[in-house]
Structure 1
Protein backbone atom coordinates (compact mmCIF):
# COMPACT_ATOMS: atom_id res chain seq x y z
CA UNK A 1 0.00 0.00 0.00
CA UNK A 2 1.48 3.31 -1.06
CA UNK A 3 1.85 5.72 1.86
CA UNK A 4 3.24 8.83 0.15
CA UNK A 5 1.93 10.60 -2.95
CA UNK A 6 3.88 13.42 -4.59
CA UNK A 7 1.14 15.72 -5.92
CA UNK A 8 3.43 18.40 -7.36
CA UNK A 9 3.94 18.73 -11.12
CA UNK A 10 7.51 18.89 -12.46
CA UNK A 11 8.92 22.41 -12.80
CA UNK A 12 11.30 22.97 -15.70
CA UNK A 13 11.64 25.07 -18.85
CA UNK A 14 8.36 24.70 -20.69
CA UNK A 15 6.20 24.29 -17.59
CA UNK A 16 2.85 25.94 -18.37
CA UNK A 17 1.99 29.35 -16.90
CA UNK A 18 -0.92 31.74 -17.29
CA UNK A 19 -0.53 33.61 -20.60
CA UNK A 20 1.67 36.62 -19.91
CA UNK A 21 3.08 35.25 -16.64
CA UNK A 22 6.81 34.67 -16.15
CA UNK A 23 7.92 31.17 -17.24
CA UNK A 24 10.55 29.11 -15.49
CA UNK A 25 14.10 29.91 -16.61
CA UNK A 26 17.42 28.74 -15.23
CA UNK A 27 20.93 30.01 -15.87
CA UNK A 28 24.19 28.61 -14.55
CA UNK A 29 26.23 31.23 -12.74
CA UNK A 30 28.99 28.84 -11.74
CA UNK A 31 30.03 25.41 -13.00
CA UNK A 32 32.28 22.75 -11.54
CA UNK A 33 35.75 23.13 -12.97
CA UNK A 34 39.35 23.15 -11.76
CA UNK A 35 38.71 26.74 -10.63
CA UNK A 36 35.25 26.16 -9.06
CA UNK A 37 34.12 23.34 -6.73
CA UNK A 38 30.34 23.73 -7.24
CA UNK A 39 27.47 24.22 -9.67
CA UNK A 40 25.30 27.27 -8.88
CA UNK A 41 22.25 28.44 -10.80
CA UNK A 42 19.99 31.48 -10.93
CA UNK A 43 16.23 31.01 -11.30
CA UNK A 44 13.64 33.33 -12.84
CA UNK A 45 10.02 32.28 -12.44
CA UNK A 46 6.55 33.31 -11.41
CA UNK A 47 5.68 32.01 -7.91
CA UNK A 48 2.58 30.56 -9.58
CA UNK A 49 4.58 28.01 -11.62
CA UNK A 50 3.82 24.44 -10.62
CA UNK A 51 2.06 23.56 -7.39
CA UNK A 52 1.71 26.75 -5.40
CA UNK A 53 -0.03 28.56 -2.57
CA UNK A 54 -1.63 31.91 -3.35
CA UNK A 55 -1.16 34.60 -0.74
CA UNK A 56 -3.98 37.00 0.17
CA UNK A 57 -1.79 39.65 -1.48
CA UNK A 58 -2.48 37.96 -4.82
CA UNK A 59 -6.14 39.00 -4.80
CA UNK A 60 -6.24 41.74 -2.11
CA UNK A 61 -4.02 44.85 -2.32
CA UNK A 62 -4.03 44.98 1.48
CA UNK A 63 -3.54 41.23 1.94
CA UNK A 64 -0.66 39.41 3.58
CA UNK A 65 2.35 38.27 1.60
CA UNK A 66 2.84 34.52 1.58
CA UNK A 67 5.72 34.64 4.05
CA UNK A 68 3.46 36.16 6.70
CA UNK A 69 0.55 33.69 6.59
CA UNK A 70 -0.06 31.04 9.24
CA UNK A 71 1.34 27.68 8.15
CA UNK A 72 -1.24 25.50 9.91
CA UNK A 73 -3.72 25.33 6.97
CA UNK A 74 -1.04 23.72 4.79
CA UNK A 75 -0.37 20.79 7.11
CA UNK A 76 -2.84 18.22 8.41
CA UNK A 77 -5.81 15.99 7.55
CA UNK A 78 -7.45 16.50 4.16
CA UNK A 79 -9.92 14.83 1.84
CA UNK A 80 -9.39 14.22 -1.86
CA UNK A 81 -12.67 14.33 -3.79
CA UNK A 82 -13.02 13.28 -7.42
CA UNK A 83 -15.25 15.28 -9.78
CA UNK A 84 -13.59 14.42 -13.07
CA UNK A 85 -14.89 16.00 -16.24
CA UNK A 86 -17.99 17.49 -14.59
CA UNK A 87 -17.84 20.85 -16.35
CA UNK A 88 -16.34 24.30 -16.03
CA UNK A 89 -17.34 24.78 -12.37
CA UNK A 90 -17.09 22.47 -9.36
CA UNK A 91 -20.62 22.56 -7.94
CA UNK A 92 -21.73 21.34 -4.54
CA UNK A 93 -23.57 18.43 -6.16
CA UNK A 94 -20.22 17.17 -7.48
CA UNK A 95 -18.79 16.96 -3.95
CA UNK A 96 -21.84 15.87 -1.98
CA UNK A 97 -21.11 12.14 -2.40
CA UNK A 98 -17.94 12.57 -0.32
CA UNK A 99 -19.50 14.60 2.50
CA UNK A 100 -20.97 12.67 5.43
CA UNK A 101 -24.49 13.43 6.58
CA UNK A 102 -23.42 13.70 10.21
CA UNK A 103 -20.59 15.75 11.80
CA UNK A 104 -17.70 15.82 11.38
CA UNK A 105 -18.54 16.41 7.75
CA UNK A 106 -15.05 17.06 6.38
CA UNK A 107 -11.44 17.51 7.42
CA UNK A 108 -10.28 21.16 7.37
CA UNK A 109 -8.68 20.70 3.93
CA UNK A 110 -10.34 19.63 0.68
CA UNK A 111 -8.54 18.89 -2.60
CA UNK A 112 -10.58 18.41 -5.76
CA UNK A 113 -9.52 16.32 -8.75
CA UNK A 114 -11.09 17.46 -12.03
CA UNK A 115 -8.71 15.97 -14.63
CA UNK A 116 -8.38 12.37 -15.69
CA UNK A 117 -4.79 13.34 -16.54
CA UNK A 118 -3.53 16.72 -15.38
CA UNK A 119 -1.77 18.50 -18.31
CA UNK A 120 1.64 19.11 -16.76
CA UNK A 121 3.18 20.16 -20.10
CA UNK A 122 0.63 22.56 -21.57
CA UNK A 123 -1.62 25.48 -20.69
CA UNK A 124 -5.34 24.65 -20.44
CA UNK A 125 -7.54 27.68 -21.01
CA UNK A 126 -10.65 25.58 -20.35
CA UNK A 127 -9.60 24.66 -16.82
CA UNK A 128 -12.24 23.72 -14.25
CA UNK A 129 -12.71 26.05 -11.28
CA UNK A 130 -14.66 26.27 -8.03
CA UNK A 131 -18.12 27.81 -8.03
CA UNK A 132 -18.17 30.52 -5.31
CA UNK A 133 -21.18 28.86 -3.65
CA UNK A 134 -19.19 25.64 -3.32
CA UNK A 135 -16.45 27.54 -1.50
CA UNK A 136 -19.06 29.10 0.78
CA UNK A 137 -20.52 25.71 1.68
CA UNK A 138 -17.11 24.16 2.33
CA UNK A 139 -16.19 27.04 4.63
CA UNK A 140 -19.49 26.63 6.50
CA UNK A 141 -18.43 23.04 7.26
CA UNK A 142 -15.13 24.18 8.75
CA UNK A 143 -12.86 23.86 5.72
CA UNK A 144 -9.89 26.25 5.93
CA UNK A 145 -7.96 25.27 2.77
CA UNK A 146 -9.18 24.30 -0.68
CA UNK A 147 -7.07 22.87 -3.47
CA UNK A 148 -7.52 21.95 -7.10
CA UNK A 149 -5.60 20.23 -9.90
CA UNK A 150 -5.98 23.20 -12.26
CA UNK A 151 -4.14 26.51 -12.48
CA UNK A 152 -6.86 28.51 -10.72
CA UNK A 153 -9.91 28.25 -8.50
CA UNK A 154 -11.53 30.76 -10.92
CA UNK A 155 -12.11 30.38 -14.67
CA UNK A 156 -9.03 31.35 -16.68
CA UNK A 157 -10.82 34.27 -18.33
CA UNK A 158 -12.41 35.66 -15.15
CA UNK A 159 -11.80 39.35 -14.44
CA UNK A 160 -13.73 39.40 -11.15
CA UNK A 161 -12.16 36.31 -9.54
CA UNK A 162 -15.29 35.53 -7.58
CA UNK A 163 -13.93 32.42 -5.86
CA UNK A 164 -10.69 34.18 -4.93
CA UNK A 165 -12.76 37.00 -3.47
CA UNK A 166 -14.80 34.44 -1.54
CA UNK A 167 -11.71 32.92 0.06
CA UNK A 168 -10.50 36.44 0.84
CA UNK A 169 -13.74 37.24 2.66
CA UNK A 170 -13.81 33.90 4.49
CA UNK A 171 -10.04 33.83 5.20
CA UNK A 172 -9.44 30.50 3.46
CA UNK A 173 -6.15 29.39 1.94
CA UNK A 174 -5.70 27.81 -1.47
CA UNK A 175 -3.43 25.42 -3.38
CA UNK A 176 -3.44 25.26 -7.18
CA UNK A 177 -1.82 23.14 -9.90
CA UNK A 178 -1.84 19.92 -7.89
CA UNK A 179 -1.44 16.54 -9.62
CA UNK A 180 -4.06 14.15 -8.25
CA UNK A 181 -4.09 11.64 -11.14
CA UNK A 182 -2.94 8.68 -9.04
CA UNK A 183 -4.60 9.58 -5.75
CA UNK A 184 -7.66 7.52 -4.76
CA UNK A 185 -10.57 9.43 -3.30
CA UNK A 186 -10.30 9.49 0.48
CA UNK A 187 -8.59 11.01 3.50
CA UNK A 188 -4.88 11.78 3.84
CA UNK A 189 -2.40 14.01 5.61
CA UNK A 190 -1.47 17.03 3.48
CA UNK A 191 2.00 18.57 3.64
CA UNK A 192 2.41 21.61 1.35
CA UNK A 193 4.34 24.35 3.11
CA UNK A 194 5.00 27.63 1.25
CA UNK A 195 8.38 29.33 1.36
CA UNK A 196 8.86 32.28 3.72
CA UNK A 197 8.83 34.86 0.91
CA UNK A 198 8.10 38.07 2.79
CA UNK A 199 6.98 40.22 -0.15
CA UNK A 200 5.58 37.63 -2.58
CA UNK A 201 2.01 37.08 -3.79
CA UNK A 202 2.44 33.28 -3.87
CA UNK A 203 4.95 30.53 -3.25
CA UNK A 204 5.84 27.26 -4.93
CA UNK A 205 5.20 24.24 -2.70
CA UNK A 206 6.33 20.62 -2.81
CA UNK A 207 2.91 19.19 -2.06
CA UNK A 208 2.63 15.62 -0.81
CA UNK A 209 -0.07 13.43 0.69
CA UNK A 210 0.61 10.78 3.30
CA UNK A 211 -1.73 7.97 4.22
CA UNK A 212 -3.28 8.32 7.65
Structure 2
Protein backbone atom coordinates (compact mmCIF):
# COMPACT_ATOMS: atom_id res chain seq x y z
CA UNK A 1 0.00 0.00 0.00
CA UNK A 2 1.36 3.42 -0.99
CA UNK A 3 1.93 5.71 1.97
CA UNK A 4 -0.03 8.94 1.97
CA UNK A 5 1.62 12.21 0.94
CA UNK A 6 1.65 14.85 3.68
CA UNK A 7 1.53 18.52 2.71
CA UNK A 8 4.15 20.49 4.67
CA UNK A 9 3.51 23.81 2.93
CA UNK A 10 2.20 27.00 4.54
CA UNK A 11 -0.98 27.91 2.62
CA UNK A 12 -0.69 31.31 0.95
CA UNK A 13 -3.53 33.59 2.00
CA UNK A 14 -4.18 37.15 3.11
CA UNK A 15 -3.41 36.23 6.74
CA UNK A 16 0.10 34.83 6.26
CA UNK A 17 2.87 36.84 7.91
CA UNK A 18 5.53 38.38 5.69
CA UNK A 19 9.10 39.18 6.68
CA UNK A 20 8.97 42.64 8.34
CA UNK A 21 9.07 45.28 5.61
CA UNK A 22 8.70 42.78 2.76
CA UNK A 23 5.83 42.58 0.24
CA UNK A 24 2.76 40.93 1.79
CA UNK A 25 0.73 38.27 -0.01
CA UNK A 26 -2.39 39.41 -1.85
CA UNK A 27 -4.74 37.62 -4.23
CA UNK A 28 -7.68 39.09 -6.06
CA UNK A 29 -9.92 38.18 -8.94
CA UNK A 30 -8.72 40.79 -11.41
CA UNK A 31 -11.23 39.79 -14.09
CA UNK A 32 -14.45 38.05 -13.12
CA UNK A 33 -16.38 35.50 -15.16
CA UNK A 34 -19.14 38.06 -15.35
CA UNK A 35 -16.74 40.59 -16.87
CA UNK A 36 -14.99 38.23 -19.29
CA UNK A 37 -18.02 36.15 -20.20
CA UNK A 38 -16.10 32.91 -19.71
CA UNK A 39 -13.53 32.74 -16.87
CA UNK A 40 -12.27 34.19 -13.59
CA UNK A 41 -8.66 35.43 -13.77
CA UNK A 42 -6.67 35.91 -10.57
CA UNK A 43 -3.85 38.30 -9.79
CA UNK A 44 -1.05 37.66 -7.27
CA UNK A 45 1.18 40.15 -5.48
CA UNK A 46 3.81 38.65 -3.19
CA UNK A 47 7.44 38.41 -2.20
CA UNK A 48 9.44 35.46 -3.51
CA UNK A 49 10.26 34.76 0.16
CA UNK A 50 6.80 34.56 1.72
CA UNK A 51 5.42 31.28 2.98
CA UNK A 52 7.21 28.03 2.19
CA UNK A 53 9.96 28.94 -0.26
CA UNK A 54 13.46 28.18 -1.45
CA UNK A 55 16.33 30.67 -1.52
CA UNK A 56 18.47 30.87 -4.64
CA UNK A 57 22.03 31.94 -3.80
CA UNK A 58 21.42 35.19 -5.73
CA UNK A 59 19.22 36.17 -2.75
CA UNK A 60 22.32 36.84 -0.64
CA UNK A 61 25.15 36.87 -3.23
CA UNK A 62 25.08 39.15 -6.31
CA UNK A 63 27.05 36.56 -8.24
CA UNK A 64 25.05 33.59 -6.96
CA UNK A 65 22.94 31.13 -8.90
CA UNK A 66 19.31 32.01 -9.61
CA UNK A 67 16.31 29.72 -9.31
CA UNK A 68 16.42 28.30 -12.82
CA UNK A 69 20.17 27.65 -12.48
CA UNK A 70 19.55 25.14 -9.68
CA UNK A 71 19.19 21.43 -10.57
CA UNK A 72 15.62 20.25 -10.15
CA UNK A 73 16.73 16.97 -8.53
CA UNK A 74 17.77 18.95 -5.44
CA UNK A 75 14.10 19.19 -4.56
CA UNK A 76 13.10 15.56 -5.09
CA UNK A 77 14.30 12.54 -3.12
CA UNK A 78 15.18 11.08 0.26
CA UNK A 79 15.12 13.44 3.24
CA UNK A 80 15.90 12.85 6.90
CA UNK A 81 13.98 14.79 9.55
CA UNK A 82 15.68 15.63 12.86
CA UNK A 83 14.16 17.34 15.88
CA UNK A 84 16.16 20.04 17.69
CA UNK A 85 13.23 21.67 19.50
CA UNK A 86 14.44 23.97 22.29
CA UNK A 87 17.76 24.87 20.64
CA UNK A 88 18.17 28.58 19.83
CA UNK A 89 21.05 28.08 17.38
CA UNK A 90 21.62 24.72 15.70
CA UNK A 91 25.31 23.86 15.71
CA UNK A 92 27.48 21.08 14.35
CA UNK A 93 27.48 19.49 17.80
CA UNK A 94 23.67 19.40 17.84
CA UNK A 95 23.54 17.51 14.54
CA UNK A 96 26.53 15.18 14.85
CA UNK A 97 24.56 12.74 16.99
CA UNK A 98 21.95 12.20 14.28
CA UNK A 99 22.39 9.53 11.63
CA UNK A 100 21.33 11.09 8.35
CA UNK A 101 23.99 9.59 6.11
CA UNK A 102 22.48 8.55 2.80
CA UNK A 103 19.93 11.38 2.79
CA UNK A 104 20.85 14.29 0.53
CA UNK A 105 18.19 16.46 2.16
CA UNK A 106 17.92 17.36 5.86
CA UNK A 107 14.70 18.68 7.42
CA UNK A 108 15.24 20.45 10.75
CA UNK A 109 12.27 20.64 13.12
CA UNK A 110 12.70 23.45 15.65
CA UNK A 111 9.14 24.23 16.78
CA UNK A 112 10.08 27.91 16.98
CA UNK A 113 7.62 29.26 14.38
CA UNK A 114 4.29 27.62 15.23
CA UNK A 115 1.92 30.27 13.83
CA UNK A 116 2.28 31.19 10.12
CA UNK A 117 -0.01 34.19 10.59
CA UNK A 118 2.33 35.82 13.12
CA UNK A 119 5.98 36.64 12.45
CA UNK A 120 7.97 35.23 15.41
CA UNK A 121 9.85 37.56 17.73
CA UNK A 122 12.61 34.95 17.95
CA UNK A 123 13.25 31.74 16.06
CA UNK A 124 15.93 29.07 15.85
CA UNK A 125 18.80 29.80 13.46
CA UNK A 126 21.47 27.65 11.80
CA UNK A 127 25.05 28.07 13.00
CA UNK A 128 28.00 28.81 10.73
CA UNK A 129 29.62 25.45 11.52
CA UNK A 130 26.67 23.43 10.15
CA UNK A 131 27.56 23.91 6.48
CA UNK A 132 30.82 21.91 6.60
CA UNK A 133 29.14 19.03 8.45
CA UNK A 134 26.38 18.80 5.87
CA UNK A 135 28.90 18.70 3.04
CA UNK A 136 30.82 15.94 4.83
CA UNK A 137 27.59 13.95 5.11
CA UNK A 138 26.59 14.50 1.48
CA UNK A 139 23.64 16.78 2.22
CA UNK A 140 22.71 19.14 -0.64
CA UNK A 141 19.54 20.75 0.74
CA UNK A 142 18.37 21.86 4.19
CA UNK A 143 14.74 22.60 5.04
CA UNK A 144 13.72 24.48 8.18
CA UNK A 145 10.40 25.38 9.81
CA UNK A 146 11.50 28.99 10.37
CA UNK A 147 11.40 32.15 8.22
CA UNK A 148 15.19 32.08 7.76
CA UNK A 149 18.36 30.22 8.69
CA UNK A 150 19.64 33.54 10.07
CA UNK A 151 18.04 35.94 12.54
CA UNK A 152 15.81 38.83 11.46
CA UNK A 153 18.47 41.39 12.40
CA UNK A 154 21.46 39.63 10.80
CA UNK A 155 23.25 41.52 8.03
CA UNK A 156 26.21 39.18 7.51
CA UNK A 157 23.96 36.09 7.09
CA UNK A 158 26.58 33.66 8.34
CA UNK A 159 24.24 30.68 8.10
CA UNK A 160 23.23 31.39 4.50
CA UNK A 161 26.82 31.92 3.34
CA UNK A 162 28.20 28.90 5.18
CA UNK A 163 25.58 26.66 3.60
CA UNK A 164 26.24 28.10 0.13
CA UNK A 165 30.02 27.68 0.46
CA UNK A 166 29.31 24.03 1.18
CA UNK A 167 26.89 23.56 -1.73
CA UNK A 168 23.73 23.37 0.39
CA UNK A 169 20.51 25.01 -0.83
CA UNK A 170 17.82 26.24 1.59
CA UNK A 171 14.05 25.81 1.99
CA UNK A 172 12.37 27.92 4.69
CA UNK A 173 8.95 28.04 6.39
CA UNK A 174 8.17 24.33 6.16
CA UNK A 175 5.36 22.95 8.34
CA UNK A 176 7.01 20.14 10.31
CA UNK A 177 5.19 20.05 13.65
CA UNK A 178 3.18 16.89 12.84
CA UNK A 179 6.11 14.87 11.50
CA UNK A 180 8.08 12.31 13.46
CA UNK A 181 11.84 11.93 13.27
CA UNK A 182 12.88 9.65 10.44
CA UNK A 183 13.29 9.26 6.71
CA UNK A 184 10.91 10.63 4.10
CA UNK A 185 10.58 11.10 0.39
CA UNK A 186 10.41 14.84 -0.34
CA UNK A 187 9.04 16.75 -3.32
CA UNK A 188 9.34 20.55 -3.04
CA UNK A 189 9.58 21.99 -6.54
CA UNK A 190 10.10 25.73 -7.10
CA UNK A 191 8.55 27.64 -9.97
CA UNK A 192 10.67 28.04 -13.11
CA UNK A 193 11.47 31.70 -12.42
CA UNK A 194 14.47 32.39 -14.63
CA UNK A 195 16.03 35.42 -12.94
CA UNK A 196 14.59 35.05 -9.44
CA UNK A 197 16.30 35.13 -6.05
CA UNK A 198 13.74 32.73 -4.59
CA UNK A 199 10.50 30.91 -5.27
CA UNK A 200 7.52 29.49 -3.44
CA UNK A 201 7.49 25.69 -3.31
CA UNK A 202 4.71 23.16 -2.76
CA UNK A 203 6.39 20.76 -0.34
CA UNK A 204 5.07 17.27 0.34
CA UNK A 205 6.58 14.21 2.04
CA UNK A 206 5.74 10.58 2.62
CA UNK A 207 7.34 8.31 5.18
CA UNK A 208 9.93 5.79 4.05
CA UNK A 209 10.42 2.42 5.68
CA UNK A 210 13.25 2.49 8.22
What TM-score results when the alignment is normalised by the length of structure 2?
Answer: 0.92
- Counterpart of 1:144 (choices 140, 147, 152) is 140
Show the counterpart of 1:62: 63
Verify: 1:163 aligned to 2:159, yes or no: yes
Shift in CA distance, 118/36, structure 1 to aligned 2, threshold 3 Å: same
Q: Is the 8 A contact 2:56 2:66 kept in 1?
A: yes
1:85 shift after superposition: 1.7
CA distance in 2, matches of 1:35, 1:14: 29
Q: Deviations over 1:103-159 (max 9, x none)?
A: xx2411101000076221110131111111122211111111011000001112111
CA distance in 1, matches of 2:197, 2:35: 41
Show the counterpart of 1:92: 92
Shift in CA distance, 115/38, structure 1 to aligned 2, threshold 3 Å: same
Between Structure 1 and Structure 2, how many residues are aligned? 207
Q: Is the 8 A contact 2:131 2:166 kept in 1?
A: no
Please, what is the CA RMSD of the aligned residues? 1.7
1:211 shift after superposition: 2.1
Moved over 4 A (4+): none
Q: Is the 8 A contact 1:118 1:180 kept in 2?
A: no
Show the counterpart of 1:177: 173
Q: How does 1:77-156 map to 2 (within 5 A)?
A: 77-87=78-88, 89-99=89-99, 105-115=101-111, 118-156=114-152
Q: Which runs of 5+ in 1 are unaligned?
A: none
Shift in CA distance, 35/205, structure 1 to aligned 2, threshold 3 Å: closer
